[in-house]
Amino acid sequence: MVNVNKDLCISCGSCVAIAPDNFDFDEEGLAEVKKDELNDDVKEAAEACPTEAIEIED
């Protein structure tokens, strides 16, 4: 399970850059999950997120 807590997202774009298959921006410029899949890129994006807005769960 992959989730973005939009209350924490600051639209930095890291997750979209690291895992473009899995994250995209919504109409407000906040990140959202495009494909709910726990892969290495998603794990890297979660670690790279400056506000820890990406929640992942096996």
Binding site for ligand SF4 (CB under 6 A): 4, 9-15, 31, 49-51, 53-54
Q: How far is the CB of 32 from ligand SF4 (least distance, A)?
A: 9
Q: Compare residues 15 and 42 and give the one whose CB is closer to ligand SF4.
A: 15
Q: How far is the CB of 50 from ligand SF4 (least distance, A)?
A: 6
Q: Compare residues 52 and 58 and give the one whose CB is closer to ligand SF4.
A: 52
Long-range contacts of 15-18 (CB under 8 A, 24+ apart): 15/45, 15/46, 15/48, 15/49, 15/54, 18/44, 18/45, 18/48
Of 26, 22, 3, nearest to 11 by C-alpha is 26
